Amino acid sequence: MTTDSWTAPSIDDQGLLAARVADDVDAYLGVLARLDVFVPRREPDQGSKFSLRRSVVKLNQLTVYGQLNNAIRGTSKSALTVSQEYDTTRRGARLVLPVYTRALLPAERPEGVYFQRNLFPAWVQDLAKQRQTMQLVVNPGTPEEYEVNVGKAAQWMRKNPQRVGGWSYLRGTVRTVYNEPTQGDLARALACGAHLSVTNAVPWNTLGHAWLDYHSERELLSQWWGIDGPVQWQNQVDALLDNENPQPVDLVLGIRTERGAGVRPSGDPAQDTELLTQAIDAWCRDRGAPERLAQEMADIAQWVVRCETWMRRDGVIAPDAIVATQDSWDWGRCVNMARWGLSCGFCDRTTAEQIVRHAGNLCARTYADWGQISAAYVLGRVIKMGRQGNPEDSYRESLQMHRALMQDPASPYLTVPLH
């Protein structure tokens, strides 16, 4: 296939194409060594918790995750052959397995097959332990197509550890695919979920495909969100989009604005916390709020002031600014919930787009600019995640994503108008 009229649909694909045109296998493997790829896997067990063809079966959680880790991720000593695990083909006497970059995934999947996401260097070394002689065909049918031997690729990874990247290399990087929207209403709406996309090393402007990394996404929704089916998924979408029933964090921020308690930071966090706590106490007394809610809101008030102090120090917000609402924390996650719903077969692409657009419209109506959206997301994440674990770690991670999105020339925060 000629490359004259064909454009590689991502920075990663540009690297692969350049190496392919030069017939430089070293450069080609050098790109793959820092890349996640997608491989067609056969559904291993129709009785598994996250079967492609059956409704969810509730099993012991540890048993299910053990089955997933062993049967799906390819790390077990299973008796299954590689050709049974993967959707392989034959080229003459050679056993061939197609491998795809995200931007060049097929629009359709074979029946009973899903595309599993893998970090290429770790995956190919695991695969070589099972089948050294198999051939990988990267992005078949495109100008990037290149055939690589599994054993030789694994050997290259071992010999060039300095060129091998892990998930930490991909996470925190703003990634874009050029064959999906980069401008317009849908792109703007997808950008509202960019914080979590960057955290998960996913291109900010892709919705993905049905059954994409199916088992991992189902496991994520079950473990982190308690979602095991389409009804629970829809309920969560509705909750994330619902701004009529504020959560305790929203109440705290609203009380501060309503009562003018610390809306202009004094420079003394203890004083600002005291003012906000007093306003919360008065609000709770006026409404006869339960003691448990009053205590939770007082605790949240401390975290709000503390997090905003960090954010002023690091330039996330101006020295005299506060965060008026953390709604973008919910709406940004909802954009990603739509992506996960599509991957898990809980909705079709049209529905996923409608959810994303709705979340994007809410963000555009609520915030003046991308900086406000990002700051609100940081505050929401630190209060939610930090109160459950280490707040400083949550803040550092969020700050890294904020800086990437506010500084990377490829970021939608710099290339896509919010209004």
What pLDDT digit, counting tens, does each position of 293-345 carry?
999 999 999 999 999 999 999 999 999 999 999 999 999 999 999 999 999 99
Cα 414 to its chain centre, rounded Å, is 20
Distance CA 307, CA 326 (A): 12
Q: What is the pTM assigned to this prediction?
A: 0.89
| Cβ atoms of 177 and 206 closer than 8 Å | yes
pLDDT tens string, the chain, 419 residues long: the values are: 556 689 999 999 999 999 999 999 999 999 999 999 999 998 765 445 555 544 333 323 332 333 333 333 433 333 246 777 888 888 887 889 999 999 999 988 888 899 999 999 999 999 999 877 899 999 999 999 999 999 999 999 999 999 999 998 899 999 999 999 999 999 999 999 999 999 999 999 999 998 899 999 999 999 999 999 999 999 999 999 998 888 899 999 999 998 877 678 888 999 999 999 999 999 999 999 999 999 999 999 999 999 999 999 999 999 999 999 999 999 999 999 999 999 999 999 999 999 999 999 999 999 999 999 999 999 999 999 878 878 889 999 999 999 999 999 999 999 999 99
Beta strands in 142-293 (DSSP E): 146-149
| Cβ atoms of 123 and 163 closer than 8 Å | no
Beta strands in 369-418 (DSSP E): none
Per residue in 214-235, pLDDT (tens digit) is: 999 999 999 999 999 999 999 9
